[in-house]
Structure 1
Amino acid sequence: MTDLVDLGWDGARAADVPPGTVPARVAKVDRGLLTVVAPGGERRVHPAPLLREGTGPAVGDWVALRSDVAVALLPRRTAFTRTAAGRTSALQVVAANLDVVFVVDALDGPARLRRIERYLAVAWGSGATPVVVLTKADLCDDVPAALAELAGAVPGAEVLAVSAVTGAGVGALAERLGAGRTGALVGPSGVGKSSLVNALLGGEVAATGEVREADRRGRHTTTARELHRLPGGGLLIDTPGMRELGLPGDEGIDTAYADVAEFASSCRFRDCSHGAEPGCAVSAAVAEGLLDEGRLRGWRKLQAEVHRQALRTDARARAAEHSRVRALHKSLRAQPSQKR
């Protein structure tokens, strides 16, 4: 028998369970069916038509069951969400009800700081606690130096170096997932997520693949998100590698770029674009070597991406942008012609 508490349940959720139903946690979503874990064990159920609307149930969600049908989706407390690939800007919940998000990258090559920053921005926005996990420590000649290089790019986030081959750091990672706590591994293909799952579970549960030497890219060995129960009582969601990670909003950007945000708060003008404006504390920090210019570029890129997405998805934002452009053109036409 599976205890709900072992699955991350607490009594505060009971008020959200409809009468005549029992709660269960989604372990896998596959071909329109849900694999759920409940006190009676694991089983496959159908989602009610209403649950197919919107983002639908995701791995880690809590649902209410009536017989073999999930009839309600219980409120999410946290969710790692991305904008789906393509031009639709539809939101996709990668994993729900997380306590910690493990942002995974590898130490078998140069640090990919901007990519890690992007994942951290989404992780901070999820409501869960981000932890950066650097795998393949056995392939790195100087792990302390690699960690020091990364330190400036992850303000406020813990960084762990691990090796699924030697087992170094795996125990420390497992400690972040105590009984009833849920974590998710997120990151691109080839960084060793599946090997890490196997190391944490103590067996060959997830398939692993080779990384191409030419470009250090890996294959998608994990093809579906799945909830695993760890020997120590924690829960871990493995996710497929993501070729694209579109930001769902700007909630986590200022936290991921806390140093940039702190300097920006001291700018003379509140609407400073951190370019050539007088009194720009951000530009001054870059000039004085107090802020890495690469981080500023990364921050600007994510801010611009969120703005473009808002223009695509929010009719009011599109209308406001259109009005702003029209007003600008009108003011330019109203200015007297300058002599050449």
Structure 2
Amino acid sequence: MSPLDHYGLDQHWLTEFEKLSQKTTLARVVRVDRGEFDAVTDSGIVRCTGTGICTGDWVTLDSFRLAATLPRRTAIERASAGSTSDTQVLGANVDTVVVTVASDTALDLGRVERYITLVWGSGAVPVVAITKTDSGSVAEELVLAAAPGVEVCTTSAVDGSGIDSLTAHLRGTVALIGPSGSGKSTLGNALLGGSVLETGATRSADGKGRHTTVRRELVPIPSSALVLLDTPGLRSVGVQGSEDAVASAFSDVDELAALCRFGDCAHEHEPGCAVLAAVDAGELTERRLGNYRKLLRENAWAMSRQDARARSQKLREYKQISKSLRVKYAIDGRKR
């Protein structure tokens, strides 16, 4: 068996590789540093040079140098928190994303909804893991209400409860995301069956965690076809997906919106609004509706910045072409 088989190789990637030059070597990126990366090949893990890639990418190598990156099947991207339209890729070609929610810290449903929106926008399937149930308790029904259509599992890495149930919902390459201190690395170790990932305690003052995971790394899960991607804790998550991602994360609101009298209902004060009627009836919380509106606005803003960036790039290209033509005409004129 090839080492690549332990890192998610399937027929899709073999087919994509066959479209390229066979003089190169197929590999998957398992860890990225500045200008260098580790990749697994048929011969094992090798150190290579190249930029513009992310952990989880499938690539081709030419003498330990990056030759090409195969088209990503999925990509977990978060929008920049600043004023730029840049995005950060947190993981590539991930199939399942486990959103960790710690039982021993205050429950932030808005953050859970934000993470789920991020995952749906990536093309992966979200699963919520309520962690540390041995040291705290979270109202599971609140999490279920904030994650319609998403599997929610309660787990404890200390006594092992819920780990088998969680594993049953995982497919392919599995990423763990959540804030620092939410138990990502501890849960990852439980899935891996040993102390592979570095862990740390939360601060007693505010219950927040320290960043023990400082880079993204792929690790095969023994005795399974799963590959684990641990990620650093996220202080902020900017939504950079689509309206479809928000609709998937808020499927309950989306289903209600289809019943509104007006097709372009903004769910503010329009007559015949089924969403507002559900709020009045106590079937939908004001908090959830408010976060739905917020994420739609945020997504629209992120997409508008992307469009502005694309227009700016086109303008730069036009100016460069115009400049080249002017130089060419000037040279041709002097030759005459």
Q: 1:172: which partner in 2? A: 165
Alignment of 1:1-340 (within 5 A): 2-17=2-17, 18-19=20-21, 20-47=23-50, 52=51, 56-141=52-137, 146-177=139-170, 181-233=172-224, 234-250=226-242, 251-315=244-308
Indicate if the aligned counterparts of 1:174 and 1:200 stay in contact, CA closer than 8 A.
yes
Bigger Cα displacement from structure 2, 187-196 vs 206-215:
206-215
Post-superposition offset of 1:316:
9.5
Quick one: which amino acid aligns to residue 145 of structure 2? G
Shift of 1:309: 2.0
Q: Report the CA distance shift for 1:316/1:13 in structure 2 as closer, same or farther (over 3 A).
A: closer
TM-score, normalised to structure 1's length?
0.85
The worse-fitting range, judged by mean Cα deviation, of 77-86 and 182-191 is 77-86
Inter-partner Cα distance in structure 2 for 1:87 and 1:301: 17
SS of 1:25's partner is: strand
Question: Partner residue of 2:330?
Answer: none
**CA 1:316–1:211: 2 relative to 1, 3 Å:** closer
Q: Which amino acid aligns with 1:169?
A: G
Give the Cα separation in 1 of the matches to 2:103 and 2:150.
18
| Letter matched to residue 246 of structure 1 | G
Cα distance in 1 for partners of 2:125, 2:135 equals 27
| 1:212 CA drift (Å) | 1.7
2:316 maps to which residue? Answer: none
Equivalent residue number for residue 323 of structure 1: none
Given that 1:310 and 1:317 are in contact with CA atoms closer than 8 Å, whether structure 2 keeps it comes out as no
- Give the AA of the match of 1:132: V
Unaligned runs of 5+ in 1: 319-340
Report SS of the residue matched to 2:105: coil
Cα distance per residue 1:8-67 (max 9 Å; x no partner): 1222333422211121111011122111111100111012xxxx4xxx211111001112
The residue type equivalent to 1:113 in the other structure is L
Question: How far 1:174 sits from its partner (Å)?
Answer: 3.0
Root-mean-square deviation (CA, aligned residues, Å) is: 2.0
Counterparts of 2:191 and 2:94, CA distance in 1 = 17
- Say if 1:107 and 1:140, in contact at 8 Å, map to a contact too: yes
TM-score (normalizing by structure 2): 0.86
AA paired with 2:150?
A: A
Q: CA deviation at 1:88?
A: 1.4
User: Deviation at 1:291?
Assistant: 1.2
Secondary structure of the 2:146 match is: coil
Query: Percent identity, aligned pairs only?
Result: 48
- Distance in structure 2 (CA, Å) of the matches to 1:212 and 1:205: 22
Q: Distance in 1 between matches of 2:34 and 2:65?
A: 15
The structural deviation recorded for 1:259 is: 0.7
Q: Offset at 1:236?
A: 0.3
CA contact (8 A) 2:39 2:46 kept: yes
What is the number of residues matched between the two proteins? 307
User: Any unmatched runs of 5+ in structure 2?
Assistant: 312-336
SS class of match (2:27): strand
Assess, with a 3 A threshold, how the Cα gap between structure 1 residues 316 and 285 changes in structure 2: closer, same or farther.
Answer: farther
- Counterpart for residue 333 of structure 1: none
* Cα contact 2:221–2:228 (8 A) shared by 1: yes
